[in-house]
């Protein structure tokens, strides 16, 4: 009886926690944007304020920033403005890491895709690992790195922020029709989500996968 009650309670807790934490995070974000917008416009409009105006203002500012940085002349000015962030010893490491991580998830030209989920498997091996291609060309890198005819694959780790990057031959990886966000989310929870949780319907009578082709 006690074990049944415990299992039932845990099921309810597991169902409640993700929704509660998501709503709380959204509440904090909305509260922060609302307070920021109120502080910005109060000198001009006094006590007049419409609920939700903070979200509109922040979204408009982010969109406007995106429009600005899309212009070559503004991009050149920003490259000068970020010099302190790219030259100070400690700040340089933090800023460069975050910027490179953000650039990886930014949209890329369809003719030059940079984001690709792949299945990594060594020839003759039975073990497969899902990873993300982070670099397809090593030209321009110093020494032996610039001579590599391989791809860089990032292997995320479950239940923590981190992973490993390996350089492997191109025929070791097979592209997977999955978004980077979906692969990262599934890797974070050790692929325990069901097909429906990932927005995919299972196919019980689906044919076997086709033969592997080089990437």
Q: Binning pLDDT at 50, 70 and 90, where does residue 172 land?
A: very high
Write down the pTM of the prediction.
0.50
Gyration radius of the chain's alpha carbons: 23
Which tokens belong to 179? 């978004």
Which tokens belong to 67? 């429009």
What are the DSSP calls for 96-131, one per residue? HHHHHHHHHHS---TTS---EEEEE--TT----EEE
Which tokens belong to 190? 């050790």
Q: Binning pLDDT at 50, 70 and 90, where does residue 102 land?
A: low
Residues 6+ apart with CB under 8 A from 107: none
Q: Starting at the edge strand that comes first in sequence, how are the strands of the sheet with 116-120 ordered?
A: 163-168, 151-156, 129-135, 116-120, 173-175
Place of tokens 């890491």: 97
Q: Binning pLDDT at 50, 70 and 90, where does residue 181 land?
A: confident
Q: Binning pLDDT at 50, 70 and 90, where does residue 209 land?
A: very low
Q: Which residues pair with 116 in a beta bridge?
A: 133
What is the spatial distance between Cα 46 and Cα 43, in angstroms, rounded to a whole number?
A: 6
What is the spatial distance between Cα 119 and Cα 177, in angstroms, rounded to a whole number?
A: 10
pLDDT confidence of residue 104 = 57
Instruction: Using a pLDDT cut of 70, give the percent of the chain over it.
Output: 80
Closest CA to 178 of 206, 199, 202: 199
Say if residues 156 and 178 touch (Cβ distance below 8 Å): no
Q: Quote the Cα angle for 91-93-96, to 5°.
A: 100
| Residues 117-147: tens digit of each pLDDT | 999 998 888 899 999 898 888 877 788 888 7
């Amino acid at each position: 009886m006690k074990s049944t009650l415990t299992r039932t309670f845990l099921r309810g807790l597991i169902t409640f926690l993700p929704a509660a934490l998501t709503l709380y995070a959204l509440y904090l974000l909305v509260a922060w944007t609302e307070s920021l917008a109120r502080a910005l416009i109060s000198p001009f409009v006094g006590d007049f304020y419409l609920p939700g105006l903070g979200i509109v203002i922040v979204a408009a500012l982010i969109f406007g920033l995106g429009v600005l940085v899309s212009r070559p002349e503004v991009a050149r000015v920003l490259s000068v403005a970020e010099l302190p962030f790219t030259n100070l010893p400690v700040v340089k490491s933090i800023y460069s890491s975050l910027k490179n991580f953000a650039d990886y998830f930014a949209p890329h030209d369809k003719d030059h895709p940079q984001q690709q989920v792949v299945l990594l498997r060594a020839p003759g091996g039975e073990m497969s690992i899902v990873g993300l291609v982070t670099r397809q060309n090593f030209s321009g890198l110093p020494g032996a790195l610039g001579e590599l005819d391989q791809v860089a694959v990032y292997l995320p780790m479950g239940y923590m922020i981190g992973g490993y990057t390996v350089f492997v031959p191109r025929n070791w990886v097979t592209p997977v029709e999955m978004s980077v966000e979906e692969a990262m989310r599934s890797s974070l929870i050790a692929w325990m989500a069901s097909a429906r949780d990932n927005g995919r319907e299972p196919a019980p009578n689906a044919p076997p996968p086709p033969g592997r082709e080089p990437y």
